[in-house]
Amino acid sequence: MSEPAAPRGQNRAPGGSVSATQQLPALDDRALAALRDVGREWEGSVPDRAVWERALPVDPQLTFTTDERVGRFLQIRTSGAEDAPELEVTRAATTPESRLGRAGALVRAVLIGPPLRSTAIAQERMRKLVALPVLSPDALSSVAYGPEAMLTILVLAGTAGLGLSLPISAAIVVLMLSIGLGYRQVIRAYPHGGGSYVVAKENLGPIWGLLAGAGLIVDYILTVAVSVASGVAAVTSAIPSLSSATVAIGLAVIAVLAVGNLRGVRDSAAAFGAPTYMFVLAIALIVIVGLVKSGEHGFPVMHPANLHATEAVTVLLVLRAFSSGATAMTGIEVISNAVPVFRPPEGDNARRTLTVMVALLISMFVGVVLLTHFYGTVPGGSETVLSKLAHATVGSGVLYGYVQVATALVLLVAANSAFNGFPRLLFFMACDGYAPRAFVRMGDRLAFTNGVAVLTIAAAIVYAGFGGNTISLIPLFAVGVFVAFTLSQTGMVVHWFRRRDKRWREAALTNLVGAVLSALVVLIAAFTKFLEGAWVVVVLVPLIVYVCLRIHRHYALARQALIPDPGRPHHRSIRAPRRSPVRADGDGRSEAADAPDEVTNFVIVPLAVLDLAALHALAYAASLSQPVLAVHVSPSEEEAERFNGYWSAWGSHLPLEVLVSPYRATVAPLANYIEALHRQRPDVTITVIVPEIIVRKPWQRILHNRMSARLRSALLAYPGIVITSVPFHLPA
Amino acid sequence: MSEPAAPRGQNRAPGGSVSATQQLPALDDRALAALRDVGREWEGSVPDRAVWERALPVDPQLTFTTDERVGRFLQIRTSGAEDAPELEVTRAATTPESRLGRAGALVRAVLIGPPLRSTAIAQERMRKLVALPVLSPDALSSVAYGPEAMLTILVLAGTAGLGLSLPISAAIVVLMLSIGLGYRQVIRAYPHGGGSYVVAKENLGPIWGLLAGAGLIVDYILTVAVSVASGVAAVTSAIPSLSSATVAIGLAVIAVLAVGNLRGVRDSAAAFGAPTYMFVLAIALIVIVGLVKSGEHGFPVMHPANLHATEAVTVLLVLRAFSSGATAMTGIEVISNAVPVFRPPEGDNARRTLTVMVALLISMFVGVVLLTHFYGTVPGGSETVLSKLAHATVGSGVLYGYVQVATALVLLVAANSAFNGFPRLLFFMACDGYAPRAFVRMGDRLAFTNGVAVLTIAAAIVYAGFGGNTISLIPLFAVGVFVAFTLSQTGMVVHWFRRRDKRWREAALTNLVGAVLSALVVLIAAFTKFLEGAWVVVVLVPLIVYVCLRIHRHYALARQALIPDPGRPHHRSIRAPRRSPVRADGDGRSEAADAPDEVTNFVIVPLAVLDLAALHALAYAASLSQPVLAVHVSPSEEEAERFNGYWSAWGSHLPLEVLVSPYRATVAPLANYIEALHRQRPDVTITVIVPEIIVRKPWQRILHNRMSARLRSALLAYPGIVITSVPFHLPA
């Protein structure tokens, strides 16, 4: 599966659509006009920019600085416009200053690698022979668990059940052919890459796009969990003593994949292509050896011993086996998402590669199923079906080891492909406002850090929750994949019907068949495996769609609220201040504001004690050239008197109001009092200046009351109140 | 045990030492003098207070307000001094304004009760007959598990082991007598209540006090866990079908105790006294009936059937049984901590009550052990020993039910006593600076909310971790208790030796015997049960002491750093601002500061986009009458140009600096840049004004980048940088 799972060397900017600069919304002409209106109101009301610039006590360009640190952090760009020169940040400046932060940055640099510049995003075209192994591990590796999943159901009905493996496989092959043909049409229509989310969104509407996206989100998580589980099973089949550590090994593998993808380095495609060829060779080896050996004896069908049929052969059983076996084709859509990575003519090359891949997939699938039929191989015990077949055909020597290693490696690469696809899907959804904007942000290694992190956590939870057991995960797997297939194919039907270019009828019919068959698999999988786990997906997918819609609604409202709009009266808060902002006059002896109408700001300093931190905050408050009121909340009358005494000792330089709080609460009464003052003069912006004690070590935080943080969260709920923290640093 | 575990109705202010006003440190004369020095520097530099007061745009007294909300929240106190009138907070003002906050306050009010005024702390003296049952449940209830814990060890050696129960019990009785006599001396010396922490601290030094305190902290947690486990066992003995829910029931009981103690209501002592008399009666009932029945047959000793001796009778086994049985005397020290609650003459009454309690404890302990001896009762199965004895003596009818109910109730009351003692111990330790100051704070119900919360969580973890099994918890129990006993008795020896008043030799000898015996029990328990769990306590107690010392060191340094000190040059930040703070002049046309020396403040506005939130922050920044610099961090050159375009459209009213960050990091480069500016002019206070988008619902927070919070935590590390959040409220 793996939606926009382009190859590693390539995945950062397919079709030029992934870019680090897309995260900031552009203003349209209307908003720009509104911005100009706002700006005009400032003219005449505040001094010229030149006045402001002369007032700056520092040189913002850092030109004349002799500070050796500055060179490490910033360099002047000559390319900046003259009126707004630019500084470029160096890599050193991305490192935090604190000791803990530096240690963290060091660990990151070792594990993840040093930061990369945005310009490091580049394109690289692939030949078909390179593209095939790079784009197909997700699909081909499914052969490692698909047939086994099918047989696990059939064996419940004993020998009679196993006899059905060939006809059911035939049906799956038909499905593979049909979906494969369908994706050939997707390549034709979306030469820049058409993920199910994009195809469904463009042709069927955003809701259907989200449904496909939600299916894919679930699907990517399960791809990681199932591929890792199956890969670990290949290892524990060969070394059974490791099987008790299945969960630990799998979690370690997921962690390694996460770190590798956070590094986001441009891996050589060849490194990722090799396991695919190894795996194809391994399957070819056991199938050919097996068929030759079997053919020497005239293809006798061995019946496995001791088969207890616990279920009868029913339609339900057949359908369950079918939907389990259909997981063998997950990943078939990958090539259609990655058309731009092919050399020109991209479409033709991609279609040919897809055809080869589907042919390989069908051959390997059929070969494995035939072998299990002739050798009477049944799932169970501590060995995978593939491992049993390898033992039966090539013995237990070097060749057996090769088969297991190739299987484990290809599954690792398949799991890795989800780590490319998932963050990119969330990137596209976030660009459309359906996912948190954090998924748009690229980390300093050009990887979508947040997407990788979310996938890692989700896959680890699913993997550990199911004990690393492939077969328990299969019921959840098919639904998500085939929901995406169905919507993508249906979207294509609509696409062709709208276009009606040459041969559109043929193409539409192909996609219609694909859509109907995929939809059938969704229904079969959802109904027959509902209680086995499919219900999780059936519940989760609509839930994800709902959450995406809520997110979208919030972003739309936020954008509307945040963008300047000429049709809406602006809140006074963005207009120019009514008092002159930069002044060099005044000797400190002038009278206080006699006309309160001129006052726009008002400062409140809440104090618990009169220590140096409090005095520091009072001095800062007084320096702002605004009216100041100190407020003390006392738990008792005596405490209030004590504070008054200290205040008098200091000289009572500023107005003080004492609140006695016999219920000992501090924050809520303060917030209520400040709000009461705010109601008296809603036109005045109140600045609450809170002394904040800063400790050296994080654990020391619990030793000081978090009044500042609590007051902040209580007061931020009120509009028109600004919170200022004046830090006071403790020496230790 | 239960260190300063005074009775419920009484525990808020024994000896007048617990008071809500102690949380704020007082300034000494030296600090006051320094405060006056600081204040004198302000004189002449800033206008008079009268000028400041005239400048206020609001009436801080809220006198002339017509706002109906104000009356709900605040009332004017007539008692306030004229120059600093006070407002008193009403209960309504302690309720948060937000919807979530109001809902939370409602839940709290229902569960915990409405807030109480500080003045609701009151004293109530108790008669001996009331004090006895109120102060003794902790000690007497130990009879429910002490003998059983001893027999559990002895039964390992079969009949030969059980035969030792009488001599070991005799040794325990000697211990009880000795420690009981020792605490009579504590009462004499500390008529205001002498907890082990206080006694050890005052006589042996702070480290020993902390050691006793750490022992008690562990001990309180275990008292809750063991008492609840034993109480639940009394219930499940009677109703065995409940035994599968042992952990759930116990956690529910702990939760109920926590809520009850958070309510902090003044419960009638009688309600807590009743279970004690019920339990004494229950034990008397089974002991008397049992002995009479046994006596009818000439006290034959029944030997339990099917006793498999798995260990030999060794010295080690005897010592293990002894230290397990010694848990029967936990709680013996409670009365000595609560002397002030007795009617005068307090000392005499307390000592007489202690004598009665020890007599009861010994009688009950001996009675139970004798019964198990005669009836051949051995621990094991799903029934407690007490339940087996009850079945054997009074059958399975109403009387049996009464015994079990009384046992469960008295254990519940015993667990509850730890909920009084633990927060008060932490209060004392926090007052001395050895525990986080948060433990000094009283909640709005006059309960030590934080102490109750910590005990609840710790006890729940221990209880659930040990599966609610009393016997598994016992090895951890004895060490903590007897560490506290040892240090308290040793402290008394030193006390008498220093005082040398009349009869000091006699008293010192009594305490010396108690100290030596307690120390023996500590050694025996720590060594013989090290691997069974005592190691946890052996590791934990020194760890707690270490943490307490680190906390104390931090507070000492913090106090030194925060308190004005005439012997130390004051940082300029607390001096009066150099520019006139309140001015009504200026027409907005004056020139900018030509002499940068006059500037004390400088404002930086970091911006990601130029939306209304940003414009709002810019307008606020400009209104502060200080030099302003806007800083934009762009992930790319193109983005920077786009921003420059918007800035020009707005009119470029303020100086702008653009940083291009090709590594896409935003916060670290900004912090580094701001620090570079700060280094240019370390004398200037930099105010960083961050636009902060405020969402309506908490989940929406993850949809917006937390630039403001991240910048805050990055910049708070630098001294001299002030952070201001200008909120912008989204409509939904």
Verify whether the Cβ–Cβ distance A615 to B91 is below 8 Å: no
Q: Assign B657 to helix, strand or coil.
A: strand
Q: What is the pLDDT of residues B383-422, one digit of tens each?
A: 899 999 999 888 888 999 999 999 999 998 888 888 878 8
Of A83-97, A249-263, B139-153, where does the model show the most confidence? B139-153
Verify whether the Cβ–Cβ distance B662 to A95 is below 8 Å: no
The residue among B13, B712, B635 whose CA lies nearest residue B341 is B13
Task: Give yes or no for a contact between A374 and A368, defined as CB atoms under 8 angstroms apart.
Answer: no
Does the structure show a pLDDT above 70 at A718? Answer: yes
Q: What is the pLDDT of residues A674-685, one digit of tens each?
A: 888 888 888 888
Longest dimension (CA), chain A: 113
What is the rounded CA–CA span in Å between residue A182 and residue A485? Answer: 9
* Entry pTM: 0.73
Position of tokens 């490194």?
A: A271
Does the structure show a pLDDT above 50 at A666? Answer: yes
How far is the alpha carbon of A259 from chain B, nearest alpha carbon, in Å?
Answer: 19
Q: What is the pLDDT of residues A555-589, one digit of tens each?
A: 888 888 888 776 665 555 566 565 544 443 333 33
pLDDT of residue A265: 46
pLDDT of residue A288: 92
What is the rounded CA–CA span in Å between residue A108 and residue A116? Answer: 13
pLDDT of residue A404: 92
Of A16-25, A214-223, A238-247, B296-305, where does the model show the most confidence? A214-223
Q: What is the pLDDT of residues B340-393, one digit of tens each?
A: 778 888 888 889 999 999 999 999 999 999 999 888 888 887 889 999 999 988
pLDDT band of residue B11 (cuts 50, 70, 90) is very low
**Which residue in A562, A597, A634, A679 has the most chain B C-beta atoms within 10 A of its own C-beta, making it the best mutation to test that interface?**
A562
Token pair of B195, please? Answer: 């907890």
What is the rounded CA–CA span in Å between residue A333 and residue A12? Answer: 19
How far is the alpha carbon of A618 from chain B, nearest alpha carbon, in Å?
Answer: 7
What is the rounded CA–CA span in Å between residue A627 and residue A605? Answer: 11
Task: Give yes or no for a contact between B74 and A679, defined as CB atoms under 8 angstroms apart.
Answer: no
Of B272 and A112, the structure prediction assigns the larger pLDDT to B272
**pLDDT average, residue stretch B703-712:** 80
Of B62-66, B419-423, B428-432, where does the model show the most confidence? B428-432
Verify whether the Cβ–Cβ distance B651 to A601 is below 8 Å: no
pLDDT of residue A447: 65
**Nearest residue of chain B to residue A555 (CA atoms):** B703
pLDDT band of residue B339 (cuts 50, 70, 90) is confident
Task: Give yes or no for a contact between A62 and B629, defined as CB atoms under 8 angstroms apart.
Answer: no
What is the rounded CA–CA span in Å between residue B344 and residue B350? Answer: 10
Contact residues on chain A for B580, CB-CB shorter than 8 A: 586-590, 625
With residues binned 3-state (H G I as helix, E B as strand, rest as coil), the percentages for chain B, rounded to 5, are: 65, 10, 25
Residues A661, A664, A665: CA angle, nearest 5 degrees: 90
**Which residue in B118, B575, B695 has the most chain A C-beta atoms within 10 A of its own C-beta, making it the best mutation to test that interface?**
B118
**pLDDT average, residue stretch B705-718:** 80
Q: Which amino acid is at B228?
A: V
In this structure, what are the phi and psi dihedrals at residue B115, rounded to the nearest 5 degrees?
-60, 150
Does the structure show a pLDDT above 70 at B575? Answer: no
pLDDT of residue B303: 74
pLDDT of residue A107: 64
pLDDT of residue B543: 95
Does the structure show a pLDDT above 80 at A51? Answer: no
Does the structure show a pLDDT above 80 at A111? Answer: no
Verify whether the Cβ–Cβ distance A593 to B615 is below 8 Å: no
Of B347 and A597, the structure prediction assigns the larger pLDDT to B347
Pairing of strands B74-81, B84-89: antiparallel
Does the structure show a pLDDT above 50 at B15? Answer: no
Does the structure show a pLDDT above 90 at A441? Answer: no
Of A49 and A649, the structure prediction assigns the larger pLDDT to A649
**Nearest residue of chain A to residue B42 (CA atoms):** A653
Does the structure show a pLDDT above 50 at A347? Answer: yes
How far is the alpha carbon of B394 from chain A, nearest alpha carbon, in Å?
Answer: 51
What is the rounded CA–CA span in Å between residue B625 and residue A584? Answer: 10
pLDDT of residue A337: 77
Pairing of strands A721-729, A685-694: parallel
Q: Where are the alpha helices (DSSP H) in A682-723?
A: 707-715
pLDDT band of residue B12 (cuts 50, 70, 90) is very low
Torsion-angle region of residue B31: left (phi > 0), alpha (psi -120 to 50) or beta?
A: alpha
What is the rounded CA–CA span in Å between residue A333 and residue A344? Answer: 20
Q: What is the pLDDT of residues B481-506, one digit of tens each?
A: 899 899 999 999 999 988 888 888 88
pLDDT of residue A118: 58
Of B340 and A549, the structure prediction assigns the larger pLDDT to A549
Half-sphere exposure of A245 (CA within 13 A, CB side): 10
Q: What is the DSSP string of A154-220?
A: HGGGHHHHHTTHHHHHHHHHHHHHHHHHHHHHHHHH-TT---HHHHHHHHH-HHHHHHHHHHHHHHH
Of B309 and A19, the structure prediction assigns the larger pLDDT to B309
Task: Give A285: exposed, middle or buried? Use CB within 10 Å, 0-12, 13-18, 19+.
Answer: middle
Verify whether the Cβ–Cβ distance A39 to B653 is below 8 Å: yes
Does the structure show a pLDDT above 70 at A311? Answer: yes
What is the rounded CA–CA span in Å between residue B304 and residue B150? Answer: 16
**Nearest residue of chain B to residue A618 (CA atoms):** B574
**pLDDT average, residue stretch A646-672:** 83
How far is the alpha carbon of A312 from chain B, nearest alpha carbon, in Å?
Answer: 39
Containing B690, the helix (H) or strand (E) segment is strand B685-694
Does the structure show a pLDDT above 60 at A255? Answer: yes
Does the structure show a pLDDT above 80 at B684? Answer: yes
Does the structure show a pLDDT above 70 at B685? Answer: yes
Centroid of chain to Cα B698: 29
Contact residues on chain B for A558, CB-CB shorter than 8 A: 693, 703-704, 730
What is the rounded CA–CA span in Å between residue A107 and residue A100? Answer: 11
User: A658 pairs with which residues across the strands?
Assistant: A632, B86
**pLDDT average, residue stretch A470-480:** 86
Token pair of B290, please? Answer: 């049992």
pLDDT band of residue A402 (cuts 50, 70, 90) is very high
Instruction: Using a pLDDT cut of 70, give the percent of chain A over it.
Output: 80
Of A119 and A709, the structure prediction assigns the larger pLDDT to A709
Does the structure show a pLDDT above 90 at B280? Answer: yes
**pLDDT average, residue stretch A480-490:** 90
Of A702-706, B38-42, B416-420, where does the model show the most confidence? B416-420
pLDDT of residue B107: 64
pLDDT band of residue A669 (cuts 50, 70, 90) is confident
Residue A652 CB partners (closer than 8 Å, separation 6+): B49, B83, B84
Of A176 and B591, the structure prediction assigns the larger pLDDT to A176
**pLDDT average, residue stretch B321-326:** 90
pLDDT band of residue B585 (cuts 50, 70, 90) is very low
Does the structure show a pLDDT above 90 at B536? Answer: no
Does the structure show a pLDDT above 80 at B111? Answer: no
pLDDT band of residue A16 (cuts 50, 70, 90) is very low
Token pair of A711, please? Answer: 């007051």
pLDDT of residue A173: 93
Of B535 and B270, the structure prediction assigns the larger pLDDT to B535
What is the rounded CA–CA span in Å between residue B46 and residue A585? Answer: 15
Of B87-96, B312-321, B567-576, where does the model show the most confidence? B312-321
**pLDDT average, residue stretch B24-29:** 70
pLDDT of residue A573: 58
What average pLDDT does chain A have? 80
**pLDDT average, residue stretch A205-226:** 92
pLDDT of residue A233: 92
pLDDT band of residue B68 (cuts 50, 70, 90) is low
Q: What is the pLDDT of residues B215-234, one digit of tens each?
A: 989 989 999 999 999 999 99
pLDDT of residue A124: 57
Q: Can the peptide bond before residue B345 be classed as cis, meaning omega within 30 degrees of 0?
A: yes
Residue contacts between A and B (CB atoms, under 8 Å): 622
pLDDT of residue B445: 58
Token pair of A280, please? Answer: 């194809």
Rg, chain B, Cα only = 33
Token pair of B210, please? Answer: 């902390």
pLDDT band of residue B100 (cuts 50, 70, 90) is low
Contact residues on chain A for B676, CB-CB shorter than 8 A: 62, 65, 67, 69-70, 73-74
Does the structure show a pLDDT above 90 at A519? Answer: yes
Of B231 and A121, the structure prediction assigns the larger pLDDT to B231
**pLDDT average, residue stretch A530-545:** 89
